């Protein structure tokens, strides 16, 4: 009985989302980072809508995301 209870408790902790294990300060920093990434992606979308071209818009996105997100697409992958 005791072993089963410990197993269930341990399984519950393993299943916790990563954000549930962060401090309030870390969560606030994540929120700021997500908002900054969202703003960079919105600017990239507006750039593409303006017809300035994928290459230019991607360069601007990469500049806006430098030090903010991982990868060439600012933390977002495309299917194409």
Please tell me the predicted confidence (pLDDT) of residue 32.
92
pLDDT at position 79:
53
Look at 36 and 18; give whichever has higher pLDDT: 36
Give the pLDDT confidence score for residue 55 in this predicted structure.
96
* Residue 66, phi then psi, degrees to nearest 5: -55, 125
CA distances (Å), 57 to each of 2, 8, 19, 22, 33, in order?
59, 49, 31, 34, 20
Q: What is the pLDDT of residues 20-78, one digit of tens each?
A: 688 999 999 999 999 999 999 999 999 999 999 999 999 999 999 998 888 888 886 65
């Amino acid at each position: 009985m005791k072993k089963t209870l410990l197993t269930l408790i341990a399984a519950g902790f393993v299943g916790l989302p990563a954000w549930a294990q962060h401090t309030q300060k870390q969560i606030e920093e994540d929120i700021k980072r997500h908002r900054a990434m969202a703003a960079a992606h919105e600017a990239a979308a507006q750039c593409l809508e303006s017809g300035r071209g994928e290459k230019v818009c991607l360069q601007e996105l990469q500049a806006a995301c430098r030090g903010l997100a991982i990868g060439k697409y600012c933390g977002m992958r495309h299917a194409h």
